[in-house]
């Protein structure tokens, strides 16, 4: 059972908290940590409004064809249930935190907080989705924000890297095979970032010099119905 980690709410907060003791109101006393609000997950559908066109590189389709999109469904298979039994898990894989942490996003949001942290169209069953690697999109979803990388980051956008992948693609995974990939220099490894990134990369095609810029799609509605 292997995927990409779903961000926990402690890892998906807006901005960053100041380090304890970095600033102080009075001599010898560290400043109180700034309370950072938790952001809402909006779901694949709102993201797909702007990320499905050819102009955007058909990013939605790339995800839909990937194993990430099927990560949660993998937990419903006989093979997954067998692995869960062998590991001695008390619950089925689709209910076990040990499996869900790498096969879904938003699964750890408490029942009483779901309306606060999950928009209506967000589905845990969508598995390893857009916001798994890019963070909750509540504040960066607007086109006006997304066009400005720095502004998007300020509003919660995250850009995953090799370290993000290694949170799940490591030897603690039941399906780990230390010789699964072969690097360019011929070395056998369990995870090769370059090889795997080529399977899911979704760059925006470079615009031709003569091509005028046009608004792409519609901005997700705030109600997220």
Summarised one tens digit per residue, pLDDT across range 121-130 is 999 999 999 9
Across residues 158-179, what is the average pLDDT?
Answer: 95
What pLDDT shows up at residue 216? 54
How far is residue 165 from each of residues 104, 181, 200, measured CA to CA in Å? Answer: 14, 15, 12
Q: Is 35 a residue whose pLDDT tops 80?
A: no
Q: How confident is residue 38, by pLDDT bands cut at 50, 70 and 90?
A: confident
Answer for the pair 122, 41: CB distance below 8 angstroms, yes or no. yes
Query: Could you tell me which of 146, 166, 165, 167 has the C-alpha nearest to residue 155?
Result: 146
pTM as predicted: 0.77
Residue bearing the bigger pLDDT, 171 or 209: 171
The more confident residue out of 3 and 74 is 74
How far CA 159 is from CA of 73, 92, 131, in Å, comes to: 25, 32, 10
Q: Quick one: average pLDDT of 173-182? A: 95
What average pLDDT does the structure give for the chain? 85
pLDDT per residue as tens digits for the range 69-104: 999 999 999 999 999 999 999 999 999 999 999 999
The domain segmentation of the chain, as residue ranges, is 38-200
Binning pLDDT at 50, 70 and 90, where does residue 113 land? very high
**Residue 23 binned pLDDT confidence (cut-offs 50, 70, 90):** very low
More confident residue, 208 or 60: 60
Q: Are 43 and 123 in contact (CB under 8 A)?
A: yes
pLDDT for residue 14 is more than 50: no
pLDDT exceeds cutoff 60 at 55: yes
pLDDT given for residue 207 in this prediction: 79
Average pLDDT over residues 182-194: 96
Query: Virtual CA dihedral for 159, 163, 169, 170, nearest 10 degrees?
Result: -170
In percent, the amount of the chain with pLDDT more than 70 equals 76
Q: Which residues sit opposite 41 in a β-bridge?
A: 118
């Amino acid at each position: 059972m292997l995927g990409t980690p779903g961000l926990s709410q402690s890892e998906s907060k807006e901005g960053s908290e100041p380090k304890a003791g970095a600033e102080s109101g009075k001599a010898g006393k560290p400043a109180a940590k700034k309370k950072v609000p938790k952001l809402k997950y909006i779901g694949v559908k709102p993201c797909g409004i702007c990320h499905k066109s050819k102009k955007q590189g058909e990013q939605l389709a790339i995800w839909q064809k990937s194993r990430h999109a099927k990560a949660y469904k993998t937990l419903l298979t006989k093979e997954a249930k067998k692995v869960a039994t062998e590991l001695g898990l008390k619950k089925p894989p689709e209910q076990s935190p040990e499996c869900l942490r790498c096969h879904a996003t938003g699964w750890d949001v408490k029942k009483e907080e779901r309306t606060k942290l999950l928009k209506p169209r967000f589905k845990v069953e969508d598995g390893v989705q857009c916001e798994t690697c890019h963070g909750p999109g509540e504040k960066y979803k607007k086109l006006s924000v997304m066009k400005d990388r720095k502004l998007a980051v300020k509003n919660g956008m995250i850009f995953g890297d090799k370290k993000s992948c290694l949170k799940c693609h490591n030897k603690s995974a039941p399906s780990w095979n230390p010789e699964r990939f072969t690097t360019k220099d011929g070395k056998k490894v369990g995870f090769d970032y370059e090889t795997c990134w080529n399977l899911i990369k979704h760059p925006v095609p470079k615009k031709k010099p003569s091509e005028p810029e046009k608004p792409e799609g519609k901005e997700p509605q705030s109600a997220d119905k």
